[in-house]
Amino acid sequence: MMGEGKNVSKKWEKYSIEGDKLVRKNIFCPKPECGPGVFLARHKDRMTCGKCGYNHVENASSEEE
């Protein structure tokens, strides 16, 4: 029964260490009510903010607002 070790510091999965640098994998929500500290959740072809609902389409060539 090896059910332990699943809840270890999930937030650090958003970073990866390259050499001695901390590389940010996710981007922050650009909305002022969120700002730095609120990550966008990465999806297949877009990123969304779970807090304010901001939607960032990575390839927005055919989908402009």
Interface residues toward Zn ion, by CB under 5 A: 29, 31, 34, 49, 51-52, 54
Would you say 35 and 28 are in contact if contact means Cβ atoms under 8 Å apart? yes
Q: Which is nearer to Zn ion, 2 or 27 (CB)?
A: 27
CB of 40: closest distance to Zn ion in angstroms? 8
Q: Which is nearer to Zn ion, 5 or 37 (CB)?
A: 37
CB of 56: closest distance to Zn ion in angstroms? 10
Strands 55-57 and 40-42 turn out to be unpaired
CB of 38: closest distance to Zn ion in angstroms? 5
Would you say 34 and 46 are in contact if contact means Cβ atoms under 8 Å apart? no
What is the rounded CA–CA span in Å between residue 35 and residue 37?
A: 6
